[in-house]
Amino acid sequence: MKIFITYIFSILAFFSLSGCKTIENRGQSIDDSALVKLESKKLNKAEVVELIGTPTMVPEYSQNTWYYVERVMSQRAWLNPKIEKQKIVKITFDANNFMQEVVVIDDSHRQDIETVREYTRTYGTELNGLQKFVKNLGRFNKTTDGNKNKSKNKKKR
């Protein structure tokens, strides 16, 4: 009876602990004091990197726009992760590589996009039984030399 109770207790403990929420910080975390320094001074690109680090993203179409993305994700057990908080800092530079403006984009601008689990089937890539049979017809026959592998015979000549 003691073993049974211990077994039940361990199963309950396992399931209760597996349901705990895990919180994970992703991206570049920029504190408010660094944002105040950014907004108060006109820094160049090297000084910005020294102050808050390298950007999360620099678009190909505009090398003078840097994005720093911070995201706090939470997940319960095996469920899909959920975005708890997101902050994006957009820094724009002028032609002389000096900071032009700092924009903080918060959660209110975020849009959740629903993913679709369906996929588009591409025809012509899967062989049916008859196509597989016809494809393999001459593949495993012996050659005139009595060897099975034709490619080795060509290399020896």
pLDDT at 154: 53
What does the pLDDT look like over 136-148, one tens digit per residue? 777 776 666 655 5
Domain positions in the chain are 21-109
pLDDT at res. 19: 67
Evaluate if pTM is beyond 0.75. no
- Give the strands of the sheet with 65-76, arranged side by side: 21-27, 65-76, 82-93, 99-105
- Mean pLDDT (the chain) is 82
Q: Which run of H or of E encompasses 132?
A: helix 129-135
Q: How far apart are the first and last CA of the chain?
A: 79
Residue % of the chain over a pLDDT of 90: 26
30 vs 111, residue with greater confidence: 30
Tell me the mean pLDDT in the region 118-139. 76
* 98 pLDDT higher than 90: yes
Tell me what pLDDT residue 152 has. Answer: 52
What is the CATH number assigned to the segment(s) 21-109? 3.30.1450
What tokens appear for 151 in the block? 């490619």
User: Considering all CA atoms of the chain, what is the largest pairwise distance in Å, rounded to the nearest integer?
Assistant: 85
